[in-house]
Amino acid sequence: MTSASPAPATGPASGQARIGILTVDDDPSVSRAVARDLRRRYGKNYRIIRAESGQQALDTLHEMKLRGDQVALLLADHRMPQMDGIQFLERAMDIYPKARRILLTAYADTEAAITAINVVDLDYYLLKPWDPPEEKFYPVIDNELDQWKRSDHTPVAQTKVVTTRWSARCSEVKDFLARNQVPFRSYLSDDAEGERLLAAAGVTAGQLPVVITADGQVLVEPSDSELAGQVGLTTDPAEDFYDLIVVGAGPAGLGAAVYGASEGLRTVLIERLATGGQAGQSSRIENYLGFPDGVSGAQLTERARRQALKFGAEMITTRDACAVEVNGSARTVRFADGGSIDAHTVILATGVSWRRLEAPGLDEFTGRGVFYGSALSEAPASKGQDVYIVGGANSAGQAAVYFSRYARSVTMLVRGPSLAASMSYYLIKQIEGIENITVRPCTEVVAGHGTDHLEGLTLRDSATGQEEQVATGLLFVFIGAAPRTEWLDGVAVRDARGFVLAGPDLMLDGERPVGWEHDRDPYLLESSVPGVFVAGDVRANSVKRVASAVGEGAMAVTLVHRYLETR
């Protein structure tokens, strides 16, 4: 590829933030050449970004999305290993659906380009090489940029968050925004820009976090519900009565919402924090049907959320269910803030929470270096750091792989002798191939140390009893699953660990549960309260996998129909 003197560029006016053009090609020389040609003509008014793998490009797009940056054009080479150009563009559509998409192909790949037109709504495919670019390259790019400018690409409104590094609440706010797909940019209070924002808002550094919404509203130390209301999330139901209330928006709840709404049920989905549950925090799910190259929990969650909304389901966030009541034929869900909502049926899909790590010194550092779950919003802060991860199941492994892209080192602390007993084989092999991940079997955390944040850990080798201290400011914990079902005390029958019993599990010695008033046995996923069903990880004896949770959510809707027809 060659390039002559650059022609006048099109793009945003001088002084405005530059919009991105991203190119991805696994051949470094070709990647540099494409970026060079783009930069010579468009670099004055567009930010030219190049990547040498699909995954690297996706990571870049995620970071840009989080900052609220715009991307006008994506150029992807078709023949790339691990993730080809079509696969990349399909996943990039979830991040920047308005960006124009161009596939770079050789003459032998024209069939692939035709396929891409159907799979990713391709805007153009370019044959390599283009020489001269003035005739074969720039006219195409000019046209695509012109088409992008004519489309509705209103800049994504960006929220600003002023925080301090070691604050549990500041971490929670950033995590809340990230998990709810709200674009934001974070500033430390002692940075120049952070100080300027605080001064403009008339707030002191002792009142953090401060959230400044896209329309200029200043929220000082906001609650989750206040935050949700100001950034465009729905917090109140539109109606008083529904056919189906789904409590919990993890994979099971989202599956139930999609199938319930698509089958004509007036469906409302209630979520305490953010859609996706634990799966939504996963950096990569590679064994979910239909995604051979894997999908991030955030991507899967966002697709499911859009799908449920498309079919007419309502989604209510930051409402914490605290009781279920039977009121005649209605089922009432009460909220911790005093509100309530009624429906014919309820599906409990509240999932599970990570168990706390019982070791001296850790509780006080929760949110200040100690995190339960992946807390993906903390990944940029781990750059150049030594990260420790407790746990040996898939969630811990996925987090280790993700943080290995940022951290200097990632150490997995596993109580058992190996990962084999609790982790999928594909993930074990992946971890073995990453140089900066170390697995330490038979190791547990016995203490945490620090002043205002975590600064070190005491580790014990359970085989030898030997202890050692290690320096670290970041610990992520993935140990076991604890259901949040205390609010069902005296209502639904649960097992000794708090998981909700359903269907055949309720039939002790063939007898129906105490208080059961129907002349039939409980349906397969029906709890001890007729018309109240349970799906996903919160159900006793469930299979703790994303696919099974989604399947149970769909199955529960089928049983809801059966209940409504026969009650």
Please write down the HEC assignment for all residues of 258-276.
HHHHHCCCCEEEEECCCCC
Q: 71: closest CA among 144, 120, 143, 13?
A: 144
Question: How far apart, in whole angstroms, are the C-alpha atoms of residue 365 and residue 430?
Answer: 31
Question: How far apart, in whole angstroms, are the C-alpha atoms of residue 458 and residue 137?
Answer: 59
363-479 has the same fold as 241-353+482-566: yes
pLDDT value for 279 = 83
Per-residue pLDDT of 504-562, as tens digits, reads 999 988 888 888 988 999 999 999 999 999 999 999 999 888 999 999 999 999 999 99
pLDDT value for 117 = 57
pLDDT value for 236 = 93
94: phi then psi, degrees, rounded to nearest 5: -70, -25
105: phi then psi, degrees, rounded to nearest 5: -130, 160
Domain 241-353+482-566 has CATH 3.50.50.60: yes
- How far from 371 is each of 162, 374, 397, 471, 567, CA to CA, in Å? 20, 7, 15, 16, 46
Could you please state the CATH topology (level 3) that the domain comprising 19-150 is classified under. Rossmann fold (3.40.50)
**Residues 231 and 242: beta-carbon distance below 8 Å:** no
Domains in the chain: boundaries: 19-150, 159-230, 241-353+482-566, 363-479
Question: How far apart, in whole angstroms, are the C-alpha atoms of residue 6 and residue 133?
Answer: 10
pLDDT value for 43 = 92
Instruction: Give the three-state DSSP class for 430.
Output: helix
**Residues 446 and 361: beta-carbon distance below 8 Å:** no
Which residues neighbour 292 within 8 Å (Cβ) at sequence distance 6 or greater?
none
pTM for this entry:
0.73
Per-residue pLDDT of 100-125, as tens digits, reads 999 888 755 555 545 555 555 778 88
**Residues 223 and 107: beta-carbon distance below 8 Å:** no
**Residues 161 and 211: beta-carbon distance below 8 Å:** yes
Which residues neighbour 139 within 8 Å (Cβ) at sequence distance 6 or greater?
none
Per-residue pLDDT of 414-448, as tens digits, reads 999 999 988 999 999 999 999 999 999 999 999 99
Instruction: Give the three-state DSSP class for 412.
Output: strand
Question: Which ranges of the chain have pLDDT less than 50?
Answer: 1-16, 113
Could you please state the CATH topology (level 3) that the domain comprising 363-479 is classified under. FAD/NAD(P)-binding domain (3.50.50)
CB atoms within 10 A of CB 491: 17
> What are the tokens at 341?
């909502």
Packing angle between helix 297-310 and helix 85-95, nearest 10 degrees? 60
- What CATH number was assigned to the domain covering residues 159-230? 3.40.30.10
Q: Using CA atoms in the order 322, 327, 332, 337, what is the torsion angle rounded to 10 degrees? A: -50
